[in-house]
Each structure stands twice: as structure tokens, then as C-alpha cells.
Amino acid sequence: MKNPFDDFRNHRTREREIPLDSIIQSRNKVMSQITKGYEKLLEEEVKELVWLVQYNTVIKAYTLAEKVVKEFEYKAEDIEEFCYELDTTDKIPYLITGPAGIYISALCNYAQEEEITLKLNDLKTQINLLGYRLPVGKKVSVEGNLGDFTGIGMEGGELGVEGNAKNYTGAGMKSGRIRVTKNIGLHTGEWMMGGEIFVGGRVRGLGKIVDGKVYEDEKVIYPRNYRQSNVYY
Amino acid sequence: MTQDHYREKIRGIHDFIKENLYFNRPDLEIKGEKFNSALIFSLLTGLNKGKELIIGEPGLGKTTSAEYVGSLLYRIPIAIIWGAEVSGHPEQTEEKIIGRPDLGKLNKGTEEVVWSHFAQIPVKIVDEINRLPETKQSMILDGVDRGNWEYLNEMIINEEYCLFATANYQDRGTNTIIAPMIDRFDVVIESRHPGPNIAYLVGKFNEKDRILRNSKAENSIHKILKSKLSYQTKLRQMEEVCDDYGEFLKKKLGIETVGLRDRKAIHAAISRLELDLDANAFTRMLLAELSFCYKYGQKRSIENCEEGCHFTGYLCHDTTNCASNRLPTSIKTYSQALAWMIGDTVVGVEHIKAIMPYTLAHRIQWREEYLSNKERNKRDNPFQIYLAKDAVKSIFNRYGEQSEHLKSALAVGYRLFKGEDLEPVDGDHPVYFEIKRDLGLED
Amino acid sequence: MVPEEIIKKIWPKVRRKHLFPEMPIPKVSEGTENVALEMKDKQITINTAFSDKIAHKMGFEEVVEALLDHGISHYTYCPWDFHTHLRLFTEAKQVVKDKEQAKRAAGLFMDVVADTYCVKGKKTPLPELYKHIDKGKVDAVIASLYQRIWGIDLCAKEDEEVVRRLARIPYLDKKQWDKSIQKFARVIKALLEVEEEEHRQEGNQANPMGEHGLDGYTLEEIDQGLRDFANQNVGLKEFKETFEDFKDELKDIGYGMEGGMGRGEGTPLDADLIYYMKLAENYSIPIKKVPMEKRGFLNPHSHCPWEIGRPFQDVDVWTSFGKIMPGITQTWNKIEGSTFGERESVPDCIIIIDSSGSMTNPRKNLSYTVLGAACASDAYLRNDAKVAVYNFSDAPMGGKTILSFTSERAKIYGVLCKYFGGGTAFNLNELDPLLEAAKEPDIFIITDMKITNLGKVIGYFNNINNRVTAVYIGENTYALRFREAMEKKKNMSFYNVTKKEDIPKIVLGKIKEYFRGNL
């Protein structure tokens, strides 16, 4: 039979390859890896779509997340984009903010860059547990609001939030610095063992702080004016 | 004689008709040159041995435009063309259209056919074809398709021929031309109202076709046609008279016309013109959209398109029937002829774009919902031609976005067909799926 | 060479490059140095002052070619139509929140897409042009972006962080434009805010490559764009917001309520009405044709060859040349004559629509009730009938609007979209004048049937012979009662709708039946 494409036998594609093509290709590849990593985490950690913030579950989830993120290379923009992908659930089956936050924290902690800026102002959901175990020498700046357990278990480093954070901010942090430009919620610094929390707006309530400092609008509110947990101002 | 010379002659014919016989506004622009669609397509039909359906309101020059083109392009005196016309009415018979028995000989017990002028001369005009019953429409179209006419076991074979059929819009006296019939027309065009100023001119010069009369040539040809000579002999003799008529036209009117050999050379030159890759790929894209169905394998008029289909953005969703194989032939031949007329050496996408709506308009059946959405849109053409132009525009837009990608897909298809181990190129458009089907690689 | 001659020389080459777009040959004009080209109704106009300014750096012909490549890419690729333009604007506004910034972001995005498409697929001097034109802050960032994604040195200083983010966006993937422009807007938002501030202080600086206003579209394209936009599952609120953002420009170019120049000048544009109008235009039924009727007796129609065994009585002796023999003899084919039926004009229609508190407020959310009524009214109007509207809530207390028979679409929609939100009661006396004003009008009533004076309504409808189609929403005792009372009446049809989305289809289905005379 005659080749129906015979007329095109000598055609050579004339389209130029421009850097945009490889940028997009590599971005798609990385995003796919990040997404698969997240799905893997969910598969192993989340039973029946329920995940509770407990000491063990958080550590277990983070250990797995660490393992996953070490397998591929990515950049800070990839992390930001992943946050937005989580928001739309087109490509990702479901968002469970706990494991998502742990995963994103692992991504931040193991990113090549020492300074990471995440512009999350337009995110519809608020990410919990961001900044978990942020190590020394790492700086993460977030534009937008975050959820609960922000900066939980920080080991050094600096976490900046241009917006609000919710409850249990800085819980269990060992060292490092958290700056929140607006307000934070209750149980701030719960079991905090070191480090500093700076809040530009209001602190709704302090938790059981072991050590460290909390500032509200540049004034030290802990330890100078120690207050019982959940006392409202 | 060179092609340029032939082209000049054909252009001369075109310009002469435009200036002296068929007055109308230009409504088609190609490469900066403006043409009247009815006139240019009639010329292309004449050059291509095509079949043209001319629609329009009564009295707007549908038949006369075809008569002028036929007369000048084929060097046939206009009165002969008038005499050979078949008019559409239900009482037409095969005997009036094709031929009849020689009654004298029949009474003596011998069968001999007296062929009609319509069957014998190359220019065939059917006036108001939609008033003919289906059987007669079919008979004419069959004959013109193959060029042979049979009656009482005798046959004549036309070497060259073209058909111009006119049709008024639907009125109480007309039948519809059914789909299998209408598909056989290469193009449909409208003979439009020329506007009041030009119409006034038409009225002012209402006996203008007299300039094409030549009673000597007319009588000679009439004698030849009704004689008992063999058809081949008649043709030879007729050609001689036509050459004389050509001389007459040159002397009296200053137009240079073309003879049989010239027309053959032109036809050969036209058919040698190649389509460039864009024209080629664009045509394939159109054909894909008009024949593809993801769910049912191909488009069929008895199958409905599902609302949730992935391909609802393409023409296959808006149409109900499948494109026939006559469509690509019409597109190719007419765009080649157009390219030749303009003086181009390659058929490009611009020629295809200009031709396509006229080859499509009568062949597509649209879904009701699509029709009712577009019915009241502002337009400058009859509805069916407007829809076809709109469809071509939207497909062309899609082509523009992915032309290189499609050409790559076709190039890879060539190599895959030869047996190379490659991956076919993916794409969303139906044409990529069809390429895979051709290669036996569909999912 | 004078500019016109240069354009004549370059235009065929550029046209061929872009596969022969349907655009007239560009013109030249002398304008300010700041704006390179304008596009209005597909007519590109090159500004010679701008071209002259750049020409000493790169050659006049190259400048013109680059500008034409840019202009044509907008036409052939992005945005291509008004619907795309609206979509991009809407997505951008979701991020930047400000109308002017959204327009600017959408314009910049379209520039990036069109230019990148051109650079990737065609041979163009566009990069050279971007190297030499004067740039504001945002334009400089865009130039840096081009430098990055095209891989061509444009002498642009890179704002590394912004450009890195912008470079990741898949500009040439049309399917992702909605998401892409959101990302784009997110990244340049801060820059746009700074630019806006600068403009406030120093005055507006025009985009050198031309603004992306509505001038580039014809009124028909805008109409089609709005129709597609409304049909896109865009909510009423979003449509309204976007429409309001473009209202001034639409008025400036003469877009009226009926969608065309001169057809609405002076009538204020009502976004709600336009929304329902455009949405209803997507549900249309064909115009009723004049029916053909059989006359009931046979007439000779055409000839067919006679075969042995066929009867003789219909043989046509004349066309058979007096011979009875197969192959010669012709016989008459007789068929039943047909003629145009009495031209039944489509009757007028009364639409009774419930706008009580239990129904959706059409100005707040998409009301399928109003949409169904709109579809019905369009169907009748398109068939040259007139429509009257009785919009009721608590009619005896004044919660009603009556519109007498009219063919003015805007007025009909105005009444359909009225919302009272009160109780539900009919004032039947008010229907009488409407019924008398037309010859047996059809009646469409769309309600949830929770009418307080239902008994009287039932009695009323029992006494009329007009074709009535009742579409009621949800099952309830009132609806059941109405249906039971009316079931035996042949002129009444009932449709219970559980999914409101079905209302337009039901209404149109019924109208189709009416128009085909199947009742």
C-alpha cells in the first residue's frame, strides 16, 4: 500500500528549541516527582484520610518525608508551586494539611538554597506544621497566612511569616527564630525549649513555655511577664 | 505556447466577461487581487472539468454567467449553448436530456440514436436542477461523472466536459437535491445581487450577449451535431468551426481564446502543481475533523455525538455526516486551478483557504443546535456558505497553532509507516488519532 | 523608501510567515514616539515616529517586521478572541484584585505568549526590537524574562527572583493559560503596584507595543465572546464583575443591550440582563419553517421507463413516440401534490414567573427559572411572536410586574430578572387583559407551586384553552394538587424538575413540540 505520509518524507521540523521548553520540561519532571513523593507519604501514613497531630505520627511522617525528598533535586520555586498544586486538587487527589505541612517542611529543610521565599498569599488553605525541624542556617520566608503548629520543633534557622499564624506556633522549638508580622493564636510556644518568637500583632495566648523568649510588638511578654497558659489578653 | 501565454488568455477571457457581460461586485480576495466568486469559480470549473452548483435568487445571472464562461472558454457560439441547456422541470425525460431513437428508422425496425446537444457538447448547463426529479438528477450527474452517455445500448464518450447547474433557493416548486447528489458537485457558489448601481448597468446593456452570436458558426455546429456522423468525427469538425469562431472573437472583440489542445495543456499544467506542506497538512486537518469519531470509529449520519465527548470543540461535534472522498479531490483540483490562474508555482494554504468553503458548503450537514446558534449572525453570504467559511476559519486557527507539530507528526508517520522504530507524535486534535489509526497504533 | 512602500514590500512576507491571516494591509500614521502600533478592528497601524526612533539602531524594515509579527501573533494566537481575553482578565483579577492591574497583567501575559509563540515558531526580528525599545520597570522585567526563556541576549538586567518564577510558566500551553496567568499575576503583582504608584505621580506611560483594549474586536466578536464567557460555567457574580470592569469601554465602542452599534445607545448596560441574554443564546431552537402539506390527490409528476408487466393507463403516448416497447415507452409517475400549509404564525407567549422568597434571586445567583423563561422568550421572539411577562410574588400586595406583549428583548429580560422575594400569590384578574390581547397565546408558568391562592389558580386554568406548560420545582403537596386537578386537561403539560439545570431543556423541548405541531 502507498505510504499516505509520503509527501512529508523530507520534512524536518523547523520549530526552534528555546530555553523555555527545557525549563518547562524540567519543571514538569520535578513537580511530578514531588507530587509522587507526597502521594507516597499519604499512602503510608494516612489511614482512611485521618491523620492526627501526635508526637509519634509527626516524627514518623517526617522520617518518611525526609527519605522521599532526598531522592530528587528541586528548587525553592518548586516548593511554592507544589503548595499551589495542593490547593487546586486537580493533579493531587486530596490535601490533608498535616502531612502536607510535614512534607513541605522536609522539602524546605533539604532544599539546596539556604534562603527560601514562599509567596503563599493566594493560597486558599492554610498549611499546618510548616517549619518543622527547620535546621540551623536555613531561612524560610512565607508571604501569607499559615495554620497551626507553625515552626514546631525548629532546630535553628529562621522562619518569617508575613501574615498570621494560628495555634501552637513554635511548639517544641529548640532553637532558632520565628517572626510573624501579624497575629498568632493560642498555645504559643507550647513546650518551647529555646529560640525566639517575634510577633508584630497580637498573641492570643501563651502555652507552657520551658525556655526561650516571646515578643509581642517588640515587647517581651515571656519570660518577663510570665502568664498562665491560655490566659487571654 | 508557454503557460504564461495560456494564463494571459484565460485572464483575458475573465476580464472580458467582467467588463462586458457579467457585471458584479468582487467578493473574494486572494493575494491582494479581487475577484467575483461566481465568475472565477465558473472559470475554474471550466478549466477543471468540474461540476458547479450555482445558487441565487431568480434573475441574478446564474445561468448567464455559466453561458458566457462556457462560450468563451470552449469557443462555442452562445446560441448552441442555449440550445443545449436542460431546463429543470419534472416532465423532463431521458429522451429530452440525452438522446432519442431516430423515429424514422424506428418505424422501420432499426434502432439508431439521435443524441441531444446536451450530451454532445462539452459545456453542460442544467437550469434549476432541483426542479428535476431525483432520477433525472442522478442520470445527469452519473453521465458527467464518467463522461459517457448511454441510450439504447449506444454510447458516446465526452473527452472534455464541465457541468453548471443552477438552483433557486427552496420554493414551492422545488425538490431538495438529496445528499448523494449534492455531494457530486465540486463547488457551490452564489450569484449575488450586484447592488443597485451595477444592476442599473445590467439593465442598460441588456442585449450584451449578442456580441457572442455568430450565426454562421452556429448553423455549422448545429448541422454537425444533428448529422449522422460518428461522434469522434463530429468532434473534429466541431473543433474546426470552434477555431473559426475563436478567430471571429479575436477579430471582432479582441479576445484571445483557447482551443482543445490548449485546454489540455492547461489542464495538464494545473494537475502538475504540487501542494506545499502547509496546504497539505491543513487539508488533512480539515478532513480529520469532518470524518472522525472517537467513540464510533468514524462519523456517521445515523449516529449521534455524545455531549460529554472529549472532542466537542471540533467540527465533528457540530456536524452530522461524514466527509466524502470527493471533497479532497475538489479541494485539490480547484486550488491547483486557482494557483495556476494567479501565476503561482505551488499551491499554498492561501489558495486552499480561499477554495475550501465553496467545496464544503453543500456537503456538510450541521446539527440543529449549531444552526440555530448561528442563524441570526450577521453575514455577507448565504447561510450555508457562511457556515462553511466560519468552519474553515476556526480549523485554520487550530492549524495555525500547531502547524509545525502536525507536520512533524506526519513526517514521523512517514517513517513509522516505513517500519522505523519511533514513537508517534501525540496531540489533542483528531488528526493525530487518525495518524495512529493509519499506522495501526491507536489505543 | 517611504513607510507605505516598505510595508507593501514586507507585508506579503509577513503574511506568508503567519499563514495568511485575514487582515487588511497595515497602515502608517504619525503618532507619539511612545506607542509602536495600534490595532483596531483587525487594522494594524504602525506609528512612524516610534519606528523612526528605533530605526537608527536596527533598520526600519526590521522594526516594521517585528511590530507586524507582534500584532499578527495577537490576532492569530493570543488572545485570538474576546472570550479568551475575558477569561485571562478574570483569572488575573482573582489574584491582583484591582481592575486596572488585572488589565495590565492580562495585557502583559498576552504579550509574552504572543511574542514567545512568534520567536519559537517563526523567524522574527522581535528579540532585536526588545533589545532597543525604551522600557519601564515592568517592561524591563519582561525583557529579562524574554532573555531567559528565548535564550537571546537582550541586554536586560535580570530581576533574578521574579524572572526565575516567571520563566517556569508554560506560556505556549493553551490549556493551562488559566492557571498560568494566575501564576504570572501573582509574581508581578508587586511590580504592578509600584508601577501604578509611579503612574499616579508621574502620569501614565503607554505600553510601547500597544494597549489591549476592546478596539481590536468587532461588536460581533464581543457579543460572541460574552456569550461564550457566560456559557463557560462562570457564575453570575463573576460575569457581572467582569462585565462591570469593561462596562465603560463597551459603552465607548457602542456596545448596546442588544449587542450592536446603535441598538442600545443610551440604554444603560445591565450586567444581569446581559448575562441571562448571553446564556439563553446558547440554548436556541431553529426557526420554524413553513410546513408543507399533502393535498390529498395524485398528479402526474415525472416520467419513468415503462416495464413489461406495468399497467398501461399511465403511459405517456407522446413521450413514447407512439410506441409500446420496453426501453422506449415512458409512463407517468404520479405523486401526491404538496403545497405550503396555511402559514401558521407562531402564537404569542405569556410567561408567568415566580419570584417569591423561595426562588433564587437572579441578580445574586444563577436562576434556572429565569434562564428557562429567557430561553422560552427568545424562542418565541426568534419566530416573530411577541412575549408578555407576568412576574409575581405576592401579587395582591403589589409584588408583581406585568409587561404587555412586546418584541423588545431588553424589556422582557428586565421584567424576568426582577425579584420580589415576598410571598406567593397570583392575581388572576391581571392575566385576563393579557389573554385577550393576543390570539390564543401559549402560557409558560415556572414556579415551585407554593401559591397561597392555588385553588383559584386551578379554577382559572381549568377554564382556559390555551396551551399551558407548567414547570414546577420539587415535589410538594401544592404541586401534587395542581397536577391532579389539571391532569385531564389536554392543553396542559406538567414537568416536575428536581434538577433546576433541566429547566431550559424542558422549556425548549416543549416549544419544539409546539412548533412542530405535535400537540
Q: Give the closest-approach CA distance of A18 to chain B in angstroms.
A: 15
Edge-to-edge, what's the strand order for the sheet holding C27-29? C27-29, C43-47, C37-40
Residues of chain C with pLDDT > 70: what percent?
Answer: 89
Whether B260 has a pLDDT exceeding 80, the answer reads yes
Contact across the interface for B407 and A13, Cβ inside 8 Å:
yes
Asked whether residue A232 is domain-assigned, the answer is no
Q: Give the closest-approach CA distance of B386 to chain C in angstroms.
A: 15
The predicted pLDDT at position C347 comes to: 85
With H, G, I as helix, E, B as strand and everything else as coil, classify residue C354. strand
Average pLDDT, stretch B383-412? 92
The predicted pLDDT at position C428 comes to: 81
Contact across the interface for A20 and C150, Cβ inside 8 Å:
yes
Q: Give the closest-approach CA distance of C94 to chain A in angstroms.
A: 9
Cis peptide before A223 (omega within 30 of 0): yes
Q: Could you list the residue range(s) of the whole structural domain that residue A120 is in?
A: 19-222
Asked whether residue A14 is domain-assigned, the answer is no
> Which phi and psi angles does A129 have, rounded to 5°?
65, 25
In whole angstroms, give the CA distance from residue C35 to residue C26: 16
Domain boundaries of chain B, sorted by first residue: 3-259, 277-439
Q: Which residues of A touch B411 (CB under 8 A)?
A: 5, 8-9, 11-13
Residue C73 forms contact with B (CB below 8 Å):
no
**pLDDT tens figures, C322-338:** 888 777 788 888 877 66
Contact across the interface for B92 and C302, Cβ inside 8 Å:
yes
Q: Give the closest-approach CA distance of A10 to chain B in angstroms.
A: 7
Q: Which residues of C touch A84 (CB under 8 A)?
A: 183
The string of DSSP letters for B400-438 reads HHHHHHHHHHHHHHHHHHHT---PPPP-SSHHHHHHHHH
The predicted pLDDT at position C518 comes to: 38
The predicted pLDDT at position A230 comes to: 57
Residue C321 pLDDT grade (very low, low, confident, very high; cuts 50, 70, 90): confident
With H, G, I as helix, E, B as strand and everything else as coil, classify residue B187. strand
Burial class (CB in 10 A: 0-12, 13-18, 19+), B351: buried
Whether C512 has a pLDDT exceeding 80, the answer reads no
Burial class (CB in 10 A: 0-12, 13-18, 19+), B289: buried
Query: By the 8 A CB rule, do B52 and B189 touch?
Result: yes
ipTM associated with this complex: 0.83
Largest CA distance in chain C: 102
Q: Which amino acid is at C330?
A: Q
Residue B382 forms contact with C (CB below 8 Å):
no
Average pLDDT, stretch B71-98? 90
Contact across the interface for A81 and C168, Cβ inside 8 Å:
yes
Asked whether residue A148 is domain-assigned, the answer is yes
Whether C396 has a pLDDT exceeding 80, the answer reads no
Q: Residue B372 is nearest to which of C77, C284, C333, comparing CB atoms?
A: C284
Q: Which residues of A touch C167 (CB under 8 A)?
A: 19-20, 23
Whether B428 has a pLDDT exceeding 80, the answer reads yes
Q: Which residues of A touch C173 (CB under 8 A)?
A: 24
Q: Give the closest-approach CA distance of C278 to chain B in angstroms.
A: 11
| Of C32 and A34, more confident | A34
- Measuring CA to CA, which residue among B366, B279, B293 is closest to residue B328? B279
Domain count, chain A: 1
Average pLDDT, chain B: 89
In whole angstroms, give the CA distance from residue B315 to residue B363: 13
Asked whether residue A161 is domain-assigned, the answer is yes
Average pLDDT, chain A: 86
Alpha helix (H) residue ranges in B85-209: 94-97, 103-107, 117-120, 134-146, 179-182, 196-204
Q: Position of cell 472558454?
A: B73
Whether C265 has a pLDDT exceeding 60, the answer reads no
Quick one: cell of B317?
A: 461535534
CATH of B3-259 among 3.40.50.300, 1.10.10.60, 3.40.50.620, 3.30.70.250: 3.40.50.300
Whether C260 has a pLDDT exceeding 50, the answer reads no
| Of C461 and B286, more confident | B286
Q: Residue C286 is nearest to which of B90, B101, B371, comparing CB atoms?
A: B371
Q: Residue A7 is nearest to which of B277, B405, B417, comparing CB atoms?
A: B277
Q: Give the closest-approach CA distance of B411 to chain A in angstroms.
A: 5
Q: Give the closest-approach CA distance of C146 to chain B in angstroms.
A: 20
The predicted pLDDT at position C263 comes to: 43
- The C residues from 157 to 176 touching A (CB cutoff 8 Å) are 161, 164-165, 167-168, 170-173
Asked whether residue A210 is domain-assigned, the answer is yes
Average pLDDT, stretch B106-113? 84
The predicted pLDDT at position C307 comes to: 77
Residue of A nearest to C185 (CA): A122
Q: Residue A4 is nearest to which of B275, B404, B438, comparing CB atoms?
A: B438
Average pLDDT, stretch A145-157? 92
Average pLDDT, stretch C115-132? 91
The predicted pLDDT at position C460 comes to: 85
Read off the DSSP letter of residue C283: S
Q: Which chains touch C (3 or more CB pairs under 8 A)?
A: A, B
Chain A, chain C: beta-carbon pairs less than 8 Å apart: 48
Whether B399 has a pLDDT exceeding 70, the answer reads yes
**pLDDT tens figures, C161-207:** 899 999 999 999 988 999 999 999 999 998 998 888 887 777 666 66
Asked whether residue A74 is domain-assigned, the answer is yes
Residue C481 forms contact with A (CB below 8 Å):
no
Contact across the interface for C19 and B371, Cβ inside 8 Å:
no
Contact across the interface for C172 and A84, Cβ inside 8 Å:
no
Asked whether residue A2 is domain-assigned, the answer is no
Query: By the 8 A CB rule, do A194 and A173 touch?
Result: yes
Whether B171 has a pLDDT exceeding 70, the answer reads no
Q: What are residue A140's DSSP bridge partners? A: A116, A159
Residues of chain C with pLDDT > 90: what percent?
Answer: 20
Q: Which residues of A touch B435 (CB under 8 A)?
A: 5
**pLDDT tens figures, B174-187:** 556 777 788 999 99
Pairing of strands B113-115, B86-87: unpaired
Chain A, chain B: beta-carbon pairs less than 8 Å apart: 42
In whole angstroms, give the CA distance from residue C94 to residue C41: 29
Asked whether residue A32 is domain-assigned, the answer is yes
Residue C277 pLDDT grade (very low, low, confident, very high; cuts 50, 70, 90): confident
Whether C264 has a pLDDT exceeding 50, the answer reads no
In whole angstroms, give the CA distance from residue A94 to residue A47: 13
Quick one: CA torsion of B362, B363, B367, B369, rounded to 10 degrees?
-30
> Which phi and psi angles does B216 have, rounded to 5°?
-60, -50
Average pLDDT, stretch B157-181? 77
Average pLDDT, chain C: 83
SS3 for C424-492, per residue?
Answer: CECCHHHHHHHHHHCCCCEEEEEECCCCCCHHHHHHHHHCCCCCEEEEEECCCHHHHHHHHHHCCCCCE
